[in-house]
Structure formats: C-alpha cells, structure tokens
C-alpha cells in the first residue's frame, strides 16, 4: 500500500504517477459526507505513517521515491471540499505537485527534520494544505 497500489513502481516520476492514481479514489471519496471524508483522511494518515515508515525501514531508504501513499493523502487533503470539475482537478493536481516538488518553507524543513513515517507523510500533508488554501482562493475569486 505504501507504493500506492503499484503506482509508485513507475520508473519515471513515481510521485506524479502516484498523485494521478489518487485522483480516481478522490472521485469516490467526494461522494462521502464531509465528516466521513475527514475521518477517512485521518485513518489514511495514521495508516500511512505506519506503512510508509515500515516500507522505508524495510527498504533502508528514508522516503524512497516509490513510496507514494503520502502523495495520495496529500492530494486528498488538497481536494477536501473542492468541486469535482475538470479545471479544479487539474489546478489542484498542478498546485499540489508544485508544492510537493519545490517544498517552500516549512515543507522542505519538515522533510529534512522529521524522520520515519511521520516525516514521509507530513510534508505532503502540508503541501496539500497549501494547495487547498490557494485553490479555494482561486475558486472564491471565480477563476474556476
């Protein structure tokens, strides 16, 4: 599961492929009520901390590029309460990948300073929060 149902095995851009794989699951998640969606996020995060940490330990590499469960959860955080329209999906995807790759403060700091499963998950969750804030502003301003 840490390898995102196999999406993390992509030889090129596994984080991006993992995020793409998170989209259809998000389309199912948005059918849930907001409280249930948030509960799923919490469970996915807690499970992710464990499975990502265990996978990194087994592989002997902190945040191995194939571990993409963090991208799944980060994208789902980004898209919380976002309307399922093509423009919002593309914009959310691009913003999330931008923040996950560029790692502006404190994302990069968290990525360097926190280790184990929590360290693998936290930077993507914060990238998701950054994305959610910007995406909601874009939607509020009427650009999507």
What pTM did the predictor assign? 0.96
- Helices and strands, number each (H, E), in the chain: 6, 0
DSSP tag of 68: -
Convert 10-22 to b/e letters by CB count within 10 Å (16 or more is b).
Answer: beeebbbbbbbbb
Delimit the domains of the chain by residue range.
4-140
pLDDT digits (tens, 9 = 90+) for 6-62: 999 999 999 999 999 999 999 999 999 999 999 999 999 999 999 999 999 999 988
Torsion of CA 115, 116, 120, 123, to 10 degrees: -40
pLDDT category of residue 100 using cuts at 50, 70 and 90: very high
């Amino acid at each position: 599961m840490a390898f995102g149902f196999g999406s993390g095995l992509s030889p090129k851009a596994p984080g991006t492929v993992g995020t793409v794989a998170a989209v259809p699951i998000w389309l199912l998640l948005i059918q849930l009520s907001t409280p249930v969606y948030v509960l799923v996020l919490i469970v996915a995060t807690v499970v992710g901390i464990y499975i990502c940490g265990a996978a990194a330990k087994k592989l002997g590499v902190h945040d191995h590029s194939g571990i993409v469960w963090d991208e799944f959860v980060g994208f789902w955080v980004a898209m919380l309460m976002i309307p399922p329209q093509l423009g919002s999906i593309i914009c959310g995807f691009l913003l999330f990948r931008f923040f996950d790759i560029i790692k502006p403060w404190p994302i990069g700091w968290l990525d360097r300073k926190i280790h184990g499963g929590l360290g693998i998950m936290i930077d993507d969750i914060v990238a998701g929060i950054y994305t959610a804030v910007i995406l909601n502003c874009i939607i509020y301003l009427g650009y999507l």
